[in-house]
Each structure stands twice: as structure tokens, then as C-alpha cells.
Chains A and B, each alone.
Chain A
């Protein structure tokens, strides 16, 4: 590899990482738009905080756990260490990876923040900041990196041939599994479900902001999937990157159409919030293998994701009575599983190993996240008082209302 190739790959990776970082803005806007106006400042604060905690924890131990090299206990448990005081740029003297180690760190750190963002949407409007941030420390510093090691760090999932190009499982299913554990432990927003089984609709406060969030995520995903090729210095790599961009875009479009068409058929209206979830579902669905399908197949995989997310949202909300204000568990979890299982459609991975990957990522994250949250709950509780919840957490947690002229 020449210095120019090394420089090109490094440049491509840091730029991709910057795109993925922008997904933090996407999640923030998406969640701000889909919660009620009295909790908007609070959810923005959660997103600012969780992103920053993810960056600190990944530097402290997360990156080392996820990419331990030879320092491993076994294929399931990485060794413990830190990259806190290490200049990562200096590690790469021999072009081993094909890009700067520091670029690798930067590209990976924004992924863990994405996984954590998924949790914040699901627990919106009813989880206090401090317990949420404590959970973010454990999630981004330990829970996410260990299962990340299983696949991307060279652990047992990688060894059995589990395929997950950019993380339908490692990032999205992981985040959604933690979100499900959190929602089950937290319970629903007060007033959401009546004793008689009735469902109270709590509408989002700002649809254009939610749509802006979806479009920002769509843009950021080009870095998420495109960057995961990790190289662009040869004709083969350049072609692969271009195909990944094409497929990522096609799947998102398919997801939107799948969701709004099924909404129109079933309710007579094209619910825009379902279209927003459809875009994300399409993106999550293609993330496990954005490099192998044709554009047409990618569109279909995304469209099926868009249909799945519609039914999943309704199923969780109305049948299981699991309160997920933004549909994060459906868009990232249910559709994440679909994305993992869809890779054999384009010849990547095998059905059995993909299922093992999905089940193991779910169980690891669900159990460890659940245990962590139960401990935090026992120590300090998770929810605001009923009075604070009714008043809105902008007042009780942040002290700043998002839209003062409407709410005061």
C-alpha cells in the first residue's frame, strides 16, 4: 500500500465518521418531534449527554474491549484495557489496517453512540436524566463493546461466519434489545394504558422536526454503511462503496413506500410518522448486507422492512402494551432481525448462523441491560414522580421549556 492509498482510506474513514456523528442530530430531532412538547428539552438533553458519555466511555475502555487484538480471555470475553492515554495515530507504522488507527477509533465511537440513541427514544418522557446517564455509562463502556467484539473484534460470532456488514445486529438490534429491557422495567408513560385495556394516543409535538431527523439519519447512514467498507483505494473497493451508497439509498426509499402504502391501505391515511419509521426501517434492514444485493433487491428488502415496522409498532403499542413513543424497538429491533435474516437473499451469510447472531446479541444485551437497570432502579429509581411526569420533564429535569410561548 502506498502512502497516498493510506491517506485516501484514512480521509474516507474520518469523513464517514463525521457523517455518522451527524446521526446524533438525526436521532435528537426525530425524538424531539415525536414526544410531547413538555418533554422536548429533556430528550434533547438526553441525546447531548448520551453522545458525550459514549465518546468518553469508548475512549476509557469501550474501544479496547471491542478491538482487543490478542489480549482476549476467550472468544466470548475480551481482555480489559484502555486507550485513554494512547496516541492511536502512532500505532500505525506499517499500514497494517490500511488506514490510521485514530480514524478507526473515530469511526467506531460514533457507532456506539448510535446504539445508545436508540434507547433514549424508547424510554422517552418517563426516565430521569441521572439514571439514564448512568445506564449509558454501562451500555457504551461495556455491554455494547463486548458483543461488538464477538463480531467485529474477531470473537466467536465472527468465527462461525455470522455476517453483519455495518451492524443491523451489532448496533441496531443491540440498541433495541437494551431499549426493550428498559421499557419493560420502566413501564408505560402514565395514562398511556387504561385499566380497561384502552390505549391513549399521545401525539408527537413537531412533525417537520421528526421528518428532518429522519432525513439527517438517511444522510448519516451513507457514512454508516459506506464507511463500513473501510477502504476506497482500489477499483474493487470503490465499486463496493458506490454499490453500498446506491443500496442504502434504495432501501430507505423502499422503507418509506412500504410503510406509507400499508398505512394508506389499513387506515385510509398516510400516517407521516409511519413513513418516518419506514425510512429508518429500510436503512436498518439493509445495514447487515448493503454491499451484496442489487439496487432492486435492496429496495425490496427496505420495503419489507417498512411494512414490518408498521405492524411491529401497532403490535407493541396496542397488543403487547409496550410503550415505545418513537417506535425505536420496532424500527431497530424487529427490523434489525429482518435485516440480519435477509442477508442470505443476496448470498451473504447462512440462515442458521444469522439466527445464532440475532439470538445471541439479543440475549446478551437484553439480560445485561436489564440487570444493570434493575440495579440502578433499586438504588435511585428510574422514573420521575407522577406529578413531575404530568407537568413534563422539561420543568422537573431541565428547567428550560422547548416552546415557551406555547406552554407558558
Chain B
């Protein structure tokens, strides 16, 4: 199993969510996050003085999935979240050792999201 963190532009969160649904990934945890990377923040003006915001807001989706789903997720996200500009975000893929469904006590792959077509 894998735990995938998908960091995208805030404006792309909704379309990424839809794209995941389209490939039968029917659950994710969403975070509002801030960060910096290739895009180093931006300069704004307030009452005639400039100031620098050195982090940018991003949306992050956390998805737990089977190993097989990872390539599909990457493809689906890149399809909709890629604008070709700096600041499109990153996908982080981690090993996931266990999952427990609180309601039933199921563990491992049984506790992962049920597919709609099951």
C-alpha cells in the first residue's frame, strides 16, 4: 500500500478531486497548506509599502491506495493540474504499513477505500 500526498495549486484542488473520482479513487483527506519551492513567494503592496510573502498557498490531498493505483493517480493528477508553469506542485509517494477502519476494525487492504464497481 502507498500513501500519496498530492500538492497542487489551490485552484486545482476541485479538478484533482474529480479526476481521482473518475479513476475510482473515492476518498481523500484535504489540507490547506503553505510552502515554498521553485516559486519563492511574491511581492505585494499595502498602503504604499511593498512586502514579500515568502510562501505560497497550496492545496494538499492525502490518498491511501493500493500499489497498482499509484501510476493511475499520477497520470490523472498531471492531466488536470499541469499548467506548465512553476508552482504546479508535487506528488509524494510513501510506503504505507497499515490501515485500520475505525468502524469495523478491518485492517490492511480490506480497510482501504471500497471501489464503486466492487
Contact = CB atoms under 8 A, between A and B. Distances in A.
Interface string A258-279: 0000010011110101100000
A266 B49 CA distance: 11
Interface residues of A, number: 18
A55 interface: no
A314 B49 contact: yes
Nearest to A266: B48
Contact of B51 (A200, A268, A269): A200
A60 to B, nearest CB: 38
Interface string B45-87: 1111111000000000000000000000000000000000000
A327 B46 CA distance: 12
B48 A313 contact: yes
Nearest to B51: A201
Interface residues of B, number: 7
A273 B47 contact: yes
A45 to B, nearest CB: 25
- Secondary structure at the B interface, as helix, strand, loop or mixed, is strand
A310 B45 contact: no
A275 B25 CA distance: 48
Q: Which of B45, B48, B50, B51 neighbours the largest number of chain A CB atoms within 10 Å of its CB?
A: B48
A310 B45 CA distance: 13
B47 A314 contact: yes
Contacts of A206: none
Contacts of B46: 201, 203, 271, 273
B47 A317 contact: yes
B51 A267 contact: no
Interface string A177-207: 0000000000000000000000111010000
Contacts of B50: 201
A201 B51 CA distance: 6
Contacts of B47: 201, 271, 273-274, 313-314, 317, 327
Interface of B: 45-51
Interface of A: 199-201, 203, 263, 266-269, 271, 273-274, 310, 313-314, 317-318, 327
When A and B form their complex, which 8 residue pairs have the shortest distance between CB atoms, in order from nearest?
A314-B48, A201-B51, A267-B45, A201-B46, A201-B49, A199-B49, A203-B46, A273-B47
